Amino acid sequence: MKAGYIFYALLVVFIVSSCHGARLSTKNFVAINDLAELNGKYINKENYLSNVFNITNREIDMDVINLEFSGKDSLIISYIDTIGYKKLALKGKRKENFFQVYFQNLRFYLFPVFVMNQIDRIRIGKDKDGNLLIYKWDEHYGMIFPMAGGTTDDEYQVSFGRYDKNVEEGLYAVKINDKWGYADKEDQIVISPVYEYAHPFKNGLAKVGRNKRWGYIDSLQNEVIPVIYEVIMKPEDDVMRVRKDGKWGIIDFQNNELAAPQYDLIKAFYSNHNDSLKVSLAEVHRNGKIGYVNKQGRKVIPVEYDEIEWGWYGIGTGHYRSKSGDKYGFVSRNGVLCKPIFDKAGRELGYNGFSPKNRDLVKEIGTYTEVIYKGERYLFTEKGKLYKYKKLGFFKENRLVVELDSGFYPE
């Protein structure tokens, strides 16, 4: 029995070790005398740096991240979010040439039947070119013997340049007497330090904050977008969601007000990856009701619904159930198909469940679902028409064969 237990334990160890490659070598870290050598602002290009620290938020401009080491076991990460600086304190351990942090370090072994690893670790140091070098190891593994296990194992290294030495547009933010301005590559001040917050320049513009308000300036310090907004969210293509006097609206980089600040909330624009037209809509809230607007600020779906149930993959190309009070209707990315008039309704229009007797009729009515209207059952179609139907029986795949009347449009 004992020999059998040892055999199974060794087998599990072999299986576990065979599923994971060797960890990255630390030879690329060069010697550092003091962790303070790593202090500074680093470019968060394509969110790589925020990803390794697990702080990425795709709705805010997290262009630069500041690292500040304290002693041998502390690291403070800071960055600008929508309303000001945000800080994250991390505890770690100084190794020979790097600083190591575990976000998660759970290892549980119950031989021979159960193994679990939950590891999320980073190592921070410097490469031979003086850039910040980070190794990321993210592993989630579990196995119940003799059943199969599952694993995700991601390990990589990435380098980051300092912000003031990697300026793409010629200007970088500098702090003078607790205020931020901008200097050129010769370290000459070209934009006076009058701001509490200063983002890097992108496409000739920089987001700045002053007196708890935000806007955009150009390289001549002209306010292309006035510094009057309480919040400016990260640009979505060429438009931005903004908050002013507690209400949300939409503007573009030409300072055109596409949707005046009038909503209690505007969520991020969304387009379904399966939609070839990439129609983008944003959910808006006002007085407890929801609707949808496009990037031109036009109300595609009026703000008068309690709930809209999109498909599994979000805003798709079909027609989906909406609700207001105790009634149901249908909407699509193009607008309202039918206002809420039904007592009950299927979640979305499709071809499943029913199979009309006449195949040509399927082409005529398109997608459909079952609804209850004024106490009677109908098929409601994508053309907005209601059909009374009569059950004739079942055929293959358990679909119901029905016979339809000529149909009508509801009031």
Per-residue pLDDT of the chain (411 residues; tens, 9 = 90+): 555 555 555 555 555 444 444 467 888 999 999 999 999 999 998 899 999 999 998 888 899 999 999 988 999 999 999 888 999 999 999 998 999 999 998 877 776 666 778 899 999 999 999 999 999 998 877 766 655 555 666 789 999 988 876 677 889 999 999 999 999 988 899 999 999 999 999 999 999 999 999 999 999 999 999 999 999 999 998 899 999 999 999 999 999 999 999 999 999 998 776 565 577 899 999 999 999 999 999 999 999 999 999 876 677 778 999 999 999 999 999 999 999 999 999 998 887 666 555 556 667 788 888 899 999 999 899 999 998 887 666 655 555 567 777 889 987
Distances (CA, A) of 192 to 181, 204, 211, 215, 238: 5, 17, 16, 16, 27
Distances (CA, A) of 136 to 48, 80, 324: 11, 23, 48
pLDDT at 21: 45
Closest CA to 30 of 156, 159, 162: 159
* Cα angle 198-44-179, degrees, rounded to a multiple of 5: 15
Q: At residue 331, what is the residue type?
A: V
- Strands across the sheet with 231-232, in order? 231-232, 239-244, 247-252, 257-263
The CA distance from 392 to 380, in Å, is: 19
Distances (CA, A) of 348 to 22, 319, 353, 381: 49, 6, 12, 10
pLDDT at 18: 47
Task: Please give the distance of CA 287 from its chain centroid, rounded to a whole number.
Answer: 26
pTM beyond 0.75: the answer is yes
Q: Quick one: which H or E segment has residue 289?
A: strand 289-294
The widest CA-to-CA distance across the chain, in whole angstroms, is 85
The CA distance from 184 to 195, in Å, is: 17
What phi and psi, each to the nearest 5 degrees, are found at residue 272?
-75, 130
Whether 176 contacts 158, CB under 8 Å: no
Question: Which residues 6+ apart lie within 8 Å of 15 measured at CB?
Answer: 143, 149
Q: How many CB atoms are closer than 10 A to CB 52?
A: 24
* Cα angle 79-247-210, degrees, rounded to a multiple of 5: 40
399-404/354-356 β-pairing? parallel
Whether 320 contacts 365, CB under 8 Å: no
Q: Is the dihedral of CA 221, 225, 229, 235 positive or negative?
A: negative
The CA distance from 211 to 284, in Å, is: 27
Stated length of the chain: 411
The CA distance from 45 to 53, in Å, is: 14
Whether 99 contacts 35, CB under 8 Å: yes
The CA distance from 146 to 377, in Å, is: 52
What is the residue-wise DSSP string for 324-359? ETTEEEEEETTEEEEEEEESEE-SB-BSSSEEESSH
pLDDT at 283: 96
Name 308's bridge partners.
322
Q: At residue 28, what is the residue type?
A: N
Question: Which residues 6+ apart lie within 8 Å of 191 measured at CB?
Answer: 171, 181, 182, 217, 219, 221
Whether 153 contacts 141, CB under 8 Å: yes
The CA distance from 47 to 72, in Å, is: 27
